[in-house]
A = this chain, B = another copy of it.
Amino acid sequence: MLESALRVLDTGRDRVEIIPTRRTEMATTAAELGIYADRLRRAQEELVRQGVDLLLVGPSSDFRYLTGHDAHLSERLTLLLLPREGNPTVVVPVLEAPTVADRRDLVDVHTWEETQAPSDLVATLAGDVAGKTVAVGDQLWSVFLLRLQAAMPGATWISATPTMRTLRMIKDFPELELLQDAARRTDDAWEEFITQPLAGQTEREALERLSALTRQRGLAGAWGLCASGPNSASPHHATSDRVIQPGDAVIFDWGGTIEGYYSDVTRTVHVGEPSDEFRRVYDIVYSANQATLDAVRPGVPCEALDEAARDLIAGEGYGAAFLHRVGHGLGLDVHEEPYLVAGNDLPLRAGMVFSDEPGIYLEGRFGVRIEDAVLCTDTGGERLNNATRELIIVG
């Protein structure tokens, strides 16, 4: 299924090998680094276009996207400096220098010792920034930003979101393959998981079994929630020790990563025979999930997808019970741009990947959510997840 999408998205660049972003014994080849050199170059083009002089990115998905290096987030500053022209530089604690040794053809590396102040090193490398605009990666810790603001006076500090989202929202071939792979393996885990009964297990036990099946299929960073019975009516319920019982709706929202790229799926099942109202609500959410998919097309504003689901649900009388936006971008972060939410008029483009996850939550009673990852192609939406969306009744 994705093959068609990949053809549609072929923009002329050569198909490339999947990049092993986990550091292994294998040397990083020049071809692999070429992907990141290209991304850094495109980021510089964005800086010029957006009038930004310097981009600063700490350990985060942005860092990994630009360099392929899954930098260690800690109280010791690691930072990528990308000026609008000239070489990118990575500042790294000396004891982590070996982890970037294979990136020295991609970036200049400057190390700092345990007793040095890394923000002073960054200030020296950046030069005089008075009157200049410095964009900061979203997930940089405030403790670092405050130190950098003190060490680099006179600059205008802005968020790097506009720069980074322009690049990251449109997935390239290796990214799409990883997202499809992560989705498929997560679907596989579900198909095995749901052959077993749930009644008598705690939410935590059920989720642990699903997580284990997900990990067994090669996904790292397995995460998720299980919300049963009345808990299913709270969209962000924290998995508890509640025992799943006959009569419960049970929501599983989970995923994991392949080379840093996330899967994110939700399925709602029912333990024993459901009420007529549950069936009706399930059917509405099922239809809203389909309506959202049907609305996907390049040029359509993000908010139109939310509206498609919301109009359908409101038309059935449950508008007030659809508590959240219909979706979010998916990639190296489990939530990223674009956000499918009222007020976001950003037009969809081919290559965007996002969740399609309408839900209805009836407080104290039950909730239903159905979520797939969806790719926007030149001709419409294609689901990356294909585990059945039909209502499953379990023991």
Contacts and interface: CB of A to CB of B under 8 A. Distances in A.
A146 B157 contact: yes
A341 interface: yes
Nearest to A324: B95
Interface string A134-178: 001111111111110100000001110100000000000000000
Contact of A141 (B114, B138, B237): B138
A161 to B, nearest CB: 7
B143 A141 contact: no
Contacts of A336: 75
A203 to B, nearest CB: 10
A24 interface: yes
A295 B142 CA distance: 34
A346 to B, nearest CB: 15
A122 to B, nearest CB: 14
A342 interface: yes
A11 interface: no
A139 B138 contact: no
A-B complex: 10 closest residue pairs judged by Cβ atoms: A138-B143, A140-B142, A98-B234, A142-B145, A136-B142, A95-B235, A95-B323, A23-B238, A96-B236, A115-B342
A7 interface: no
Contacts of A240: 23-25
A195 to B, nearest CB: 24
Contacts of A25: 240-242
So how many copies of this chain end up in the complex? 2
A273 B95 CA distance: 28
A241 B335 contact: no
A267 interface: no
A247 to B, nearest CB: 17
A302 to B, nearest CB: 13
Contacts of A146: 136, 145, 157-159
Contacts of A145: 142, 145-146
A299 interface: no
A75 B61 CA distance: 13
A236 B140 contact: no
A373 B90 CA distance: 32
A132 to B, nearest CB: 16
Contacts of A147: 159
28 contacts: A22-B238, A23-B238, A23-B240, A24-B240, A25-B240, A25-B242, A70-B238, A74-B335, A75-B328, A75-B336, A75-B339, A95-B235, A95-B324, A99-B237, A99-B238, A114-B342, A136-B142, A138-B141, A138-B142, A138-B143, A139-B142, A139-B143, A141-B142, A142-B144, A142-B145, A146-B157, A146-B158, A149-B157
